[in-house]
C-alpha cells in the first residue's frame, strides 16, 4: 500500500495497537512481533507493549521467513504458534481465545476460525508442524497438505474476513470502526 500498514490509523490508534491489545487479552503468550526492513518506526510505536521483536531483514523476505524469524525467539515449551497478520486488526479477543482453547484440546491440529461456513484468519499452528516450512513451502501448502489435521473452529466474528491489502479495503475498515 506504499506505507507501513502497522502504523496506519484505525479509529483512535495505529493498526498494530489494535492487534496487540487483542492478543494481550488472551492466553496467547509470549508475543513475538516480526518486523521487516524499515520497521524501526513500528518498533518505536510498540515499545510500551510486552512483546519480543524479531527481524526479517531480507528485503525480498516473505511470510515464511518472518515465521521462521519469530519461531527462533519462542521458548522451547511453546507448543503452538498463532500467526496473526496486522492485515486483520478487527479479529476479536474471543476468537483468539477460542483458537487457543482448541489448541489445548487438540494440540496436533492446525486451528482455523470459521464464520458462516467460511474460514478466515488468524491460524494457530502446532509448533512441530511449522518445521515443514521451507523456502519452497508456504503456510498455505502446510494447511492443504493433510486436511485431516485441520480443525475449523466456529466463531461469530466477521473480523476473521476483514483484510486490508489495498487502500480501498483499508478505507472500508476505517469506515466500519467509526
pLDDT (tens digit per residue) in 92-150: 999 999 999 999 999 999 999 999 999 999 999 999 999 998 888 889 999 999 999 99
Can you give the pTM of this predicted structure? Answer: 0.93
Domain count, the chain: 1
Name residue 112's beta-bridge partners: 152
Query: For residue 48, what are the domain limits?
Result: 5-177
Average pLDDT, the chain: 94
Kindly tell me if the per-residue pLDDT of 155 is higher than 90.
Answer: yes
> What's the CATH code of the domain at 103?
3.90.550.10
Evaluate the CA torsion angle 128, 102, 112, 67 in order and state its sign. negative
pLDDT at 64: 86
Overall residue count recorded for the chain in this entry: 178
Phi, psi of 48 (to 5 degrees): -85, -5
- pLDDT of res. 2: 67
**Residue-wise pLDDT tens digits, 12-21:** 999 999 999 9
Amino acid at each position: 500500500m506504499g506505507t507501513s500498514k502497522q502504523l496506519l490509523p484505525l479509529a483512535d490508534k495505529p493498526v498494530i495497537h489494535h492487534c496487540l491489545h487483542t492478543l494481550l487479552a488472551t492466553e496467547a503468550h509470549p508475543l513475538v512481533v516480526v518486523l521487516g526492513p524499515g520497521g524501526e518506526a513500528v518498533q518505536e510505536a510498540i515499545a510500551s507493549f510486552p512483546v519480543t521483536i524479531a527481524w526479517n531483514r531480507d528485503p525480498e523476505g516473505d511470510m515464511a521467513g518472518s515465521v521462521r524469524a519469530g519461531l527462533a525467539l519462542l521458548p522451547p515449551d511453546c507448543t503452538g504458534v498463532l500467526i496473526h497478520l496486522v492485515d486483520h486488526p478487527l479479529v476479536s479477543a474471543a476468537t483468539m481465545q477460542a483458537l487457543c482453547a482448541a489448541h489445548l484440546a487438540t494440540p496436533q491440529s492446525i486451528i482455523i476460525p470459521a464464520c458462516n461456513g467460511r474460514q478466515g484468519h488468524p491460524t494457530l499452528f502446532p509448533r512441530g508442524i511449522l518445521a515443514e516450512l521451507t523456502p519452497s513451502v508456504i503456510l498455505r501448502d502446510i494447511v492443504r497438505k493433510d486436511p485431516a489435521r485441520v480443525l475449523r473452529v466456529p466463531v461469530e466474528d466477521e473480523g476473521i474476513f476483514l483484510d486490508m491489502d489495498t487502500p480501498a479495503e483499508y478505507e472500508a475498515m476505517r469506515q466500519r470502526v467509526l
